[in-house]
Amino acid sequence: MRVGFIGTGTMGAPMALRLVEAGHDVAVFDRVSAATTPVVTAGATLVASAAAAASGATCVFLSLPTPADVEAAVTGELGVLAASSRPTHVVDVSTSSPDVVRRLHVACAAVGVVFMDAPVSGGRAKAQTGELSVMVGGADGDVAAIEPLLRAFAAQVFHVGPCGSGTVAKLVNNQLFLAGSVLVQEAFVLGAAAGLEPAALHRILKASSGGPYAVLAPLLLGRAFDDVIFRLDIATKDLSLAVQAAEELGVDVPASAAALQVYRDALDAGLGTLAFHATLQQLEHSAGVELPALTRQPRPA
C-alpha cells in the first residue's frame, strides 16, 4: 500500500520505519531532510513536500510537534489537501489540540478526505519495537480501514469515539503523567530541604501509602537530564494543551495548572531541550537544595 508519512522526528522516524518493514511503499517528508535518513535508507522515498507525500497515497500519517504544524501540513500551500491525487485517510498521530483536530476533520471532509486523530503513547523505544498504544478518534469503518497500518507500530489500538476523542484521551494521559511527575519531585525536594536522604525516603514511600507514586522516582530524580526521551519543551506544550482543553470545557484543573507553571518556569530558565524531568532543577533552585541522583535499588536476595 502507498503510504505518506510527514514528520520523521523522535517518534515519526521509528513509526515510518515500521511501516517500511511491514512492506508498505512509504513516501516521507520532513522540513529537516536529514531526519528522514534512517527511513530512506531502509527503503522509503524522500519527497519535497507534504503534498508530494500525500499524492497517490491511500493514507497519510502526520507526526509533528505542534497543532500549528499539523494544520499547516494539511491545509497549507503545499499541504496534503494540495496533493494532485488526495489520500483517502489522513491520520494525525501527534499530540495535538482537540479544536484543531475537529477543524481539520471538517476541512478534509469538505473535499472527500477522512481526517482522524490517533495519538500514540509509549515513547521511541516502543515505537521501534511496534508496541505503542494508539488512541483513535473516528468512525467505526474508518478505524477498521486504517487499523492494519496502525498495527505496524502499535500493540494496542483503542477506538475512543468520534474524531477528537483520541486527542482528549492522550492529553488526559499526559496531564496525569506530567503533573504527577512534578508532585513526586517536589515531595522529594521538601524532604531534602528538611534533611531527609532521598534514597532512604524512597524506601519509606515504597513501603507506605505513597508507594504508587514512588515507582517513577528513579526516573524523575535520576538526574539523566541529557537522556532526552521526551523533551521538556514538548512536555510543556502537551500539558498546556490539556489545561487549555479543560478551560474550554469549563473544567477546573488547579493542580495541573500549577504544574504547568513549573514547566513554563523551567522553559524560561533555558531547560527546554533537556528531558522533561529537568523540572527538578527548577524546583531545586526555588528551594535552594540539590538532590543526589536517585537510582533503582536492587531487590533483596
- CATH code of residue 80: 3.40.50.720
Are 259 and 175 contacting, i.e. CB atoms less than 8 angstroms apart? no
The 3-class SS string of 42-100 reads: CCCEECCCHHHHHCCCCEEEECCCCHHHHHHHHHCCCCHHHCCCCCCEEEECCCCCHHH
> Helix 279-287 vs helix 165-193: angle between axes, to the nearest 10 degrees?
30
Q: Are residues 191 and 68 in the same domain?
A: no
Among 129, 162, 195, residue at a domain's last position: 162
Bridge partners (DSSP) of residue 134 are 120, 157
C-alpha span between 4 and 61 (Å, rounded): 6
> Helix 279-287 vs helix 254-268: angle between axes, to the nearest 10 degrees?
90
> Is 258 contained in some domain?
yes
pLDDT per residue, tens digit, the chain (301 aa), is 999 999 999 999 999 999 999 999 999 999 999 999 999 999 999 999 999 999 999 999 999 999 999 999 999 999 999 999 999 999 999 999 999 999 999 999 999 999 999 999 999 999 999 999 999 999 999 999 999 999 999 999 999 999 999 999 999 999 999 999 999 999 999 999 999 999 999 999 999 999 999 999 999 999 999 998 899 999 999 999 999 999 999 999 999 999 999 999 999 999 999 999 999 999 999 999 999 999 865 444 3
Among 130, 162, 194, residue at a domain's last position: 162
Is residue 203 within a helix (H) or strand (E), and if so which, with residue range? helix 198-206
Q: Are residues 122 and 205 in the same domain?
A: no
What cell was used for 258? Answer: 500549577
Q: Are residues 122 and 219 in the same domain?
A: no
Residue-range definition of the domain harbouring residue 36: 2-162
C-alpha span between 197 and 210 (Å, rounded): 16
Bridge partners (DSSP) of residue 5 are 28, 61
Q: What is the CATH number of the domain that holds 182?
A: 1.10.1040.10
Amino acid at 50: A
Q: Are residues 142 and 224 in the same domain?
A: no
What cell was used for 289? Answer: 537544595
**pLDDT the model gives residue 299:** 46
**pLDDT the model gives residue 297:** 56
> Is 233 contained in some domain?
yes
> Is 300 contained in some domain?
no
How many domains does the chain fold into? 2
Alpha carbon distances (Å) from 289 to 196, 201, 274, 281, 283: 12, 16, 20, 9, 9
User: What is the set of active-site residues?
Assistant: 170
Are 58 and 29 contacting, i.e. CB atoms less than 8 angstroms apart? no
Strand 89-92 and strand 114-117: the pairing is parallel
Q: C-alpha angle 290/294/297, rounded to 5°?
A: 160
Are 218 and 277 contacting, i.e. CB atoms less than 8 angstroms apart? no
CB atoms within 10 A of CB 201: 21
